[in-house]
C-alpha cells in the first residue's frame, strides 16, 4: 500500500538521522526537519498496519519528509508499544500507531504490562475506527439480535461463539454483548479472526464478530448472515444493517479505534502540530476515501479528547474483564 519514501528501504536513512541525535533537535516551528518513524506494534497486513501506512503516506505527502513504517510485532503488541513508551526519544520523530487493544484493553487484560499508557505515552490524535459485524451461522434459528438474545437466554452457554483468540477484540466485543444483554454463550478461541469466520461458515460455531471488509463478501454470497453492526452508528459500508443497540441491546457499542501517540515528555507544541496535521489529513476527501476503501472510518481529535477517551475506556474494560473472569498472560 505504501511506496518507497515510507517503506523499509529508507531504514538506513532513518538510522543516519537518528545517530545524529540532539544536533538535529528542532523547534516546533521547524518540525519536522528529518525522517519520522511510525512504529506499528504488529506484523504487516493487519488492521493496525493498514492504518499506520495510511497515516505515513498522508504525512509524507503533506510534510515532504520520509515517514518510515517500522513493524514491531510480538507479545500481543506489547513489545512495540514498550519500545516507544520506554526507549524512544521524546522529540516527535518516533510515533506509535496504537489501537484500543494496546492502549485500553491491555491494562485490563495483563497484570504485568511493561508500560503504562497513561504515564508513558502522550496521546496525539485518534485516527480511525473500525466496527464489526455480528454474524451468525446461516442455520441458527435467530435472524435478528433480539432473537439471538432470546435464544441465548433460553439456552445458557449452548450457543458457541468464535473469536480471534482470548483477549482479542473479537472476543471482548462479544463479552461486552453478553455483559450488556445479560446472556452467556460458550467461547471458542481461534488463532486469528479469519479462522473463526471459516469455522462459522463450516458450522463449528454459531456466532462471531468479523470486520466489515471480511464479513460482507461472505454475507452477500449467502454463506453466513449478518445481524447488526457493532458501532454507535450505522456503517457507510452497509447502511442497511442496524446497530446492535438499535436491534435490541440498548447501550451497546463496540468499535476498535486507532490513534497516534508519542513518548511522554514530547514538547506540547510538537504534539499539537502533529495532531493538527493528522486532523487536517483526515478531513481531506482523498485521505478519507482511502480509509473508507479499507473498511475504516476516518476520525481525528485533539490530544485532550484522545486523553479523555483513554481515561474513560481503561476502567470500563477493567470492569468488563473482571466480570467475565478473563485471564491472559
pLDDT in single tens digits along all 329 residues of the chain: 334 344 444 444 444 444 444 434 446 789 999 999 999 999 898 889 999 999 999 999 999 999 999 999 888 889 999 999 999 999 999 999 999 999 999 999 988 899 999 999 999 999 999 999 999 999 999 999 999 999 999 999 999 999 999 999 999 999 999 999 999 999 999 988 889 999 999 999 999 999 988 899 999 999 999 999 999 999 999 999 999 999 999 999 999 999 999 999 999 999 999 999 999 999 999 999 999 988 899 999 999 999 999 999 999 999 999 989 897 76
Per-residue pLDDT at 45: 85
Single out the residue of 79, 282, 299 nearest to residue 70, CA to CA. Answer: 79
Which of these three, 229, 245, 278, is where a domain ends? 229
Instruction: Verify that 29 and 170 share a domain, yes or no.
Output: no
Return the ∠ at Cα 213 (arms to 208 and 217), rounded to 5°: 80
The residue segments making up the domain with residue 42 are 4-130+256-324
CATH number at residue 15: 3.40.190.150
Domain-located, residue 179: yes
Return the ∠ at Cα 71 (arms to 65 and 76), rounded to 5°: 145
Note the pTM of the prediction, 2 decimals. Answer: 0.86
Please give the DSSP secondary-structure letter assigned to residue 296.
Answer: -
Domain-located, residue 240: no
Domain-located, residue 249: no
Other Cβ atoms within 10 Å of 165 Cβ, number: 18
Per the CB < 8 A criterion, the answer to whether 328 and 166 are in contact is yes
Other Cβ atoms within 10 Å of 116 Cβ, number: 11
Instruction: Verify that 200 and 268 share a domain, yes or no.
Output: no
Per-residue pLDDT at 12: 46
Q: Following CA atoms 28, 288, 130, 329 in sequence, which dihedral angle do they give, to the nearest 10 degrees?
A: -30
Q: Per the structure block, which three cell numbers stand in for 183?
A: 446472556
Domain-located, residue 138: yes
Return the residue matching grid coordinates 432473537. 147
Per-residue pLDDT at 190: 94
Instruction: Verify that 296 and 220 share a domain, yes or no.
Output: no
Q: Per the structure block, which three cell numbers stand in for 83?
A: 519500545
Q: How far from each other are the two terminal CA atoms of the chain, in whole angstroms? A: 33
Single out the residue of 81, 12, 3, 5 nearest to residue 42, CA to CA. Answer: 81
Which residues have CB under 8 Å from 20's CB, separation 6+?
34
Per the CB < 8 A criterion, the answer to whether 4 and 10 are in contact is yes
CATH number at residue 179: 3.40.190.10
Which residues have CB under 8 Å from 264's CB, separation 6+?
85, 90, 119, 120, 121, 122
Cα–Cα distances (Å) from 280 to 127, 259, 276, 307, in that order, read 11, 15, 6, 19
Which parts of 121-192 fold into alpha helices (H)? 145-154, 169-181
Per DSSP bridges, beta strands 67-71 and 36-40 are parallel
Domain-located, residue 251: no
Amino acid at each position: 500500500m505504501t511506496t518507497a519514501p515510507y517503506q523499509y528501504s529508507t531504514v538506513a536513512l532513518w538510522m543516519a538521522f537518528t545517530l545524529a541525535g540532539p544536533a538535529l533537535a528542532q523547534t516546533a516551528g521547524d518540525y519536522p526537519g528529518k525522517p519520522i518513524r511510525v512504529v506499528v506494534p504488529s506484523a504487516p497486513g493487519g488492521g493496525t498496519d493498514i492504518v499506520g501506512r495510511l497515516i505515513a503516506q498522508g504525512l509524507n505527502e503533506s510534510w515532504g519528509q520520509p515517514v518510515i513504517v517500522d513493524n514491531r510485532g510480538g507479545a500481543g503488541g506489547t513489545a512495540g508499544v514498550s519500545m516507544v513508551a520506554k526507549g524512544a526519544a521524546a522529540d516527535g520523530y518516533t510515533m506509535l500507531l496504537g489501537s484500543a487493544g494496546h492502549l485500553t484493553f491491555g491494562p485490563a487484560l495483563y497484570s504485568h504490562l511493561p508500560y503504562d499508557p497513561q504515564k508513558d505515552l502522550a496521546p496525539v490524535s485518534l485516527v480511525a475506527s473500525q466496527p464489526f459485524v455480528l454474524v451468525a451461522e446461516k442455520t441458527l434459528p435467530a435472524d435478528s439480535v433480539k432473537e439471538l438474545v432470546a435464544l441465548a437466554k433460553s439456552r445458557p452457554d449452548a450457543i458457541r461463539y468464535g473469536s480471534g483468540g482470548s483477549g482479542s477484540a473479537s472476543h471482548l466485543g462479544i463479552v461486552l454483548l453478553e455483559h450488556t444483554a445479560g446472556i452467556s454463550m460458550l467461547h471458542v478461541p481461534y488463532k486469528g479472526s479469519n479462522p473463526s469466520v471459516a469455522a462459522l461458515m463450516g458450522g463449528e460455531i454459531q456466532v462471531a464478530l468479523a470486520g466489515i471488509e471480511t464479513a460482507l463478501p461472505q454475507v452477500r454470497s449467502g454463506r453466513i448472515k449478518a445481524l447488526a453492526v457493532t458501532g454507535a452508528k450505522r456503517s457507510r459500508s452497509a447502511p442497511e444493517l442496524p446497530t446492535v443497540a438499535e436491534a435490541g441491546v440498548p447501550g451497546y457499542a463496540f468499535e476498535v479505534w486507532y490513534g497516534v501517540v508519542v513518548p511522554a515528555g514530547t514538547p506540547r507544541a510538537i504534539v499539537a502540530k502533529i495532531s493538527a496535521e493528522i486532523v487536517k489529513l483526515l478531513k481531506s476527501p482523498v485521505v478519507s476515501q482511502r480509509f473508507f476503501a479499507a473498511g475504516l472510518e476516518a476520525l481525528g481529535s485533539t490530544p485532550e479528547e484522545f486523553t479523555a477517551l483513554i481515561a474513560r475506556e481503561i476502567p470500563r474494560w477493567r470492569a468488563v474483564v473482571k466480570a467475565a473472569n478473563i485471564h491472559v498472560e
